[in-house]
Amino acid sequence: MSNKIIQNFVTVKKYLPAVVIKADITALDDMFNIAEDELVEDILSLELYNRLLEEKDEDRNLLIQCERVISISGFLRAIPDLDLILTQSGFAVHNSESMVPASTARVKSLTSGLQERLDSATDTLIRFLLSSEKYQDVWRNSSQFEKITAGLITNYSEFKDFAQYSPAFAQTYPRNYSEFKRLYSSFNIALLGDIASYLSSDFCNEIIEKLRDRETLSLHEKYVVGLLKYAICAMSLGDLQVGRAHTIKARSYMLKFPDAFPTFFSSPESQALDSSDNSGAIFGML
């Protein structure tokens, strides 16, 4: 684990206090290496990762959050290959044939709890990076930043706040962050493909850039962005009817306050609309 964020299992144990290591599990180093590489590929970017390795003492907050994500993620990956036993203080990794393995139900409960912690830790890391001025010079230019911020929905907990669960679309609803991250491109397509054809690409791109720059939105903009997040989540799951309903509601609101949305009202999409018709013909193209 040399030249890595996770150097040894002492670090891992800080974030897994209920798990006791009673066996030689050096073979699991690869699981933590994979988790670390995945974090770099999905969120950090190689540039920010290298900076963190060079400046660990100066970036303690970021370091701790990355350690937490990697530790939980790596251990989750390793669970299928471990001999887990249940002790009075929690779970233990043991290689003794005399010990009775933990039940399937117990292991499933452990996995579920760790997955929830991982999802929460990942969301916290993303929100931290988005809100911190310190890392913008490096992270802002990365493909990871571009992907995460291109569709207004930046993290899993935000998605769960705006995605309306429906049994009809249960198969497409992400159960964890690993499944959620596959929707990033869908968010961007919904916003700049479907919604922009109705509210204008100029306005949608303006909102994206304002949020990336952490500008304070007006109350009118906040209301519309909230509706668009509902629409984006619905469309990403395949529920076009609900997504279109929220988009129509957003446009109807914008038409009432032209001074609050100058970019939209100066766009070709707006000029092509009859403002007295809130049903909109453009959705025939979607």
Q: Distance between CA atoms of 148 and 188, rounded to whole angstroms?
A: 9
DSSP symbol at 22: -
Let me know whether 278 and 171 are in one domain.
yes
Count how many domains the chain has. Answer: 2
Within 10 angstroms of residue 44's Cβ, the number of other Cβ atoms is 27
Q: What is the pLDDT of residue 16?
A: 85
280 φ/ψ angles, rounded to the nearest 5 degrees = 75, 130
Do 119 and 175 lie in one domain? The reply is: no
Residue 2 lies in a domain: no
Q: Are residues 169 and 140 in the same domain?
A: no
Domain ranges, residue 131 = 9-144
One domain, residues 51 and 85: yes
pLDDT computed for residue 204 by the predictor = 98
Residues 6 or more apart in contact with residue 150 via CB below 8 angstroms: 184, 187, 188, 191, 192, 208
**pLDDT profile of the chain (286 residues), mean per 10:** 80 80 65 94 97 91 96 87 49 48 66 93 97 92 97 98 90 95 97 95 97 96 98 97 96 96 92 56 40
Same domain, yes or no: 129 and 231: no
Please report the pLDDT score of residue 164 as a whole number. 85
Domain boundary pick from 81, 116, 144: 144
Residues 133 and 207 in one domain: no
Kindly state whether residue 151 falls inside one of the protein's structural domains: no
101 and 223 in a single domain? The answer is: no
Domain assignment present for residue 149? The answer is no
Is residue 82 domain-resident? yes
pTM (predicted TM-score): 0.86
Please identify, among 96, 112, 144, the residue that sits at the C-terminal boundary of a domain.
Answer: 144
